[in-house]
Amino acid sequence: MKNKDDYSKENDNSKEDEGKFNLVKEVLEMLVYFVAIIIIFLLLPHFVGQHIEVKGSSMENTLSNKDHLILEKITYRFKEPKRFEIVVFRPYDKEEETYYIKRVIGLPGEKIQIKDGEVYINDEAIEDIYGSDIIANPGIASSEIQLDEDEYFLIGDNRNNSTDSRSAKIGPVKRKAIVGRAWARIWPVKEIEILAH
């Protein structure tokens, strides 16, 4: 038969065990929480989206120097870029940290040419409501360019102040070089807007 001292010792032991269990549980929950936060912060910019800042005037009047944007990376995992979408791409394979922002003009398989200041796709002039000026320098597109099945022709909205697919250094852009699309402008506050439709 157990005496009162035995019962109190058992109660003390069970309370002590329960306290240790709760402490271990809390520590494990905190570890899981911190690991989840670290994974989110590592994966979000790589696979989902990230904040970017526009540098330069090549996309004026649509985007200005020092505009802050959200670059969205999910959509192009499921569908291909469309004409007139604003995309971010790596112009040079070896320079991973160099990114450009331009507008999609030519799509895979199309023929592109710039003549008399206008863009022709498959021998027809396109209605270009985004370009700020008539194109003065067609660059490599002065002769017809046949895009491959994984190539896009990208041009800045500031047509006469943009290094883009018209430059021999860049040329048609491979699909794999396109990182994502400009989804929204978040700064300056008075110009907040959704860019992707």
Q: Which of 8, 14, 55, 102 is catalytic?
A: 102
Give the integer Cα–Cα distance in Å for 92 and 90: 6
From the list 4, 57, 58, 64, the catalytic residue is 58
Token pair recorded at residue 19: 């306290």
For 165, left (φ over 0), alpha (ψ -120 to 50), or beta? alpha
Collapse the DSSP code of 119 into the 3-class scheme (helix H, G, I; strand E, B; otherwise coil) and give the result.
Answer: strand
Q: Are 102 and 155 in contact (CB under 8 A)?
A: yes
User: Is 102 one of the catalytic residues?
Assistant: yes
| Catalytic residue check, 176 | no
Pairing, β 178-187 against β 68-72: antiparallel
- Three-class SS state of 16: helix
| Spatial CA neighbour of 50 closest among 157, 181, 174 | 181
The residues that are catalytic are 58, 102
